[in-house]
């Protein structure tokens, strides 16, 4: 009796395809490099020379994140460049709230079967966002794992490293009673609330990606795959102003779940965000899903992707620079342990 000859490709892993995919993205990745990148794509580790002469007391800030079930929409649409941008911008925002500017980015793509065209789109989106954010894409991993992911499925994760001088670290100890809350608009759902949004749009309403939503004058695909906004271009010129006291990136958990992370003990953020200020997309989802106000607040950003806590004397300048709006203020807490209270 003879046994069939086994090899890696027969087990579902094509090493040569992986090497071809790396070669295909080499140029686009290299376009994000700067003088501090000392390694080439394909090295065991990415090398980055720290620009120490630009900082007096530098602190490295790192974060790892994904794009959640927005991946399911991208897979359904066969549109992958935007989620690459989502991933980078989300991670940039996560370290931005601590005052950090990005240095470099690394990605992980786990797949059931490697599709070169799909990977190229994803990496191209990441490279575009890295270039826009002044961040080098210095490495990553493509792992073909047919025993873990089904064919056509994949996971996407990113890690970012940035730097901030200690004196400019946020949130600052300056957050105090009388500070005001500034809400900076989002570009849509960003990367949270998609498990609920998908149930409403595809299951309850029975819509397809190409269907047009008349009241929003857009297709379902465009609404759900709108790129997660990076706030670095807006906020970079303002980060070292001492009148900026704190920033909160509004992701999963909504305004209450994220804003509370920067509010000191004994204080509370009183948020007054009128229904008329909520973008139509969120009202459409709420009505279609029959969702309560509480569910909306904990599931979606409601049109606010970043909240700044600032000195009132900074309000006019800050609002002009960011096209934002006042959504509340900081006061002493009225309910022990409550750090965010929504005022209707």
Cα–Cα distance measured from residue 105 to residue 37, given in angstroms and rounded to the nearest whole number: 11
The confidence band for 190, taking pLDDT boundaries of 50, 70 and 90, is very high
Domains, the chain: 9-168 (3.30.1330.10), 180-342 (3.90.650.10)
Range 281-297 average pLDDT = 96
Query: What is the rounded (10 degree) CA torsion for 193, 208, 66, 133?
Result: -100
User: What is the chain's mean pLDDT, rounded?
Assistant: 93
**Predicted pLDDT at 160:** 98
Q: Is the separation of the CB atoms in 129 and 85 below 8 Å?
A: yes
Residue 286: its H or E element: helix 280-289
What phi and psi values does residue 275 have, to the nearest 5 degrees?
-55, -35
**Predicted pLDDT at 321:** 95
The confidence band for 274, taking pLDDT boundaries of 50, 70 and 90, is confident
The confidence band for 327, taking pLDDT boundaries of 50, 70 and 90, is very high
7: left (phi over 0), alpha (psi -120 to 50) or beta: beta
**Is the per-residue pLDDT at 63 higher than 60?**
yes
The model's pTM: 0.93
Percent of the chain with pLDDT over 90: 83
Cα–Cα distance measured from residue 179 to residue 314, given in angstroms and rounded to the nearest whole number: 10
Percent of the chain with pLDDT over 70: 94
**Range list of β-strands (E), the chain:** 58-66, 101-111, 136-144, 154-165, 180-185, 212-213, 218-219, 244-249, 267-271, 304-310, 325-332, 340-342
Closest CA relative to residue 285, chosen from 195, 161, 186: 195
**From 25-29, 133-137, 276-280, the region with the lowest mean pLDDT:** 25-29
CB atoms under 10 Å from CB of 278, counted, come to: 16
Query: What is the rounded (10 degree) CA torsion for 328, 197, 81, 138?
Result: 60
Q: Is the separation of the CB atoms in 209 and 77 below 8 Å?
A: yes
Cα–Cα distance measured from residue 200 to residue 141, given in angstroms and rounded to the nearest whole number: 34
**Predicted pLDDT at 12:** 57
**Is the per-residue pLDDT at 24 higher than 80?**
no
Local structure of 66: helix, strand or coil:
strand
Cα–Cα distance measured from residue 226 to residue 82, given in angstroms and rounded to the nearest whole number: 7
Closest CA relative to residue 273, chosen from 232, 326, 210, 216: 326
What is the CB-side half-sphere exposure of residue 152 using CA atoms within 13 A? 7
């Amino acid at each position: 009796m003879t046994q069939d000859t086994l090899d890696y490709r027969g087990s579902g892993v094509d090493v040569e395809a992986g090497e071809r995919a790396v070669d295909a993205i080499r140029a686009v990745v290299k376009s994000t490099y700067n003088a501090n990148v000392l390694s080439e794509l394909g090295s065991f580790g990415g090398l980055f020379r720290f620009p120490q002469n630009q900082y007096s007391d530098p602190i490295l800030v790192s974060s790892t994140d994904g794009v959640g079930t927005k991946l399911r929409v991208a897979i359904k649409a066969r549109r992958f460049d935007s989620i690459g941008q989502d991933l980078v911008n989300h991670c940039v925002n996560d370290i931005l709230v601590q005052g950090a500017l990005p240095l470099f980015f690394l990605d992980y793509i786990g797949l059931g079967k490697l599709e070169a065209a799909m990977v190229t789109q994803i990496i191209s989106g990441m490279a575009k966002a890295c270039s826009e954010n002044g961040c080098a894409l210095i490495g990553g991993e493509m792992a073909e794992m047919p025993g873990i992911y089904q064919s056509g499925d994949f996971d996407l994760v990113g890690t970012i490293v940035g730097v901030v001088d200690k004196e400019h670290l946020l949130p600052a100890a300056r957050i105090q009673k009388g500070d005001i809350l500034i809400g900076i608009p989002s570009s849509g759902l960003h990367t949270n609330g998609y498990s609920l949004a998908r149930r409403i749009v595809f299951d309850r309403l029975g819509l397809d990606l190409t269907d047009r939503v008349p009241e929003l004058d857009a297709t379902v695909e465009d609404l759900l795959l709108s790129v997660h906004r990076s706030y670095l271009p807006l906020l970079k010129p303002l980060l070292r102003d001492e009148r900026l006291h704190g920033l909160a990136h509004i992701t999963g958990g909504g305004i209450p779940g994220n804003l509370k992370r920067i509010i000191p003990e004994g204080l509370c953020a009183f948020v007054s965000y009128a229904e008329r200020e909520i973008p139509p997309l969120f009202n459409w989802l709420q009505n279609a899903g029959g969702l309560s106000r509480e569910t909306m607040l904990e599931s979606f950003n409601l049109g606010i992707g970043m909240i700044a806590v600032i000195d009132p004397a900074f309000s006019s300048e800050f609002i002009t620079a960011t096209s934002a709006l006042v959504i509340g203020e900081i006061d002493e807490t009225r309910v022990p342990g409550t750090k965010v209270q929504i005022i209707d």
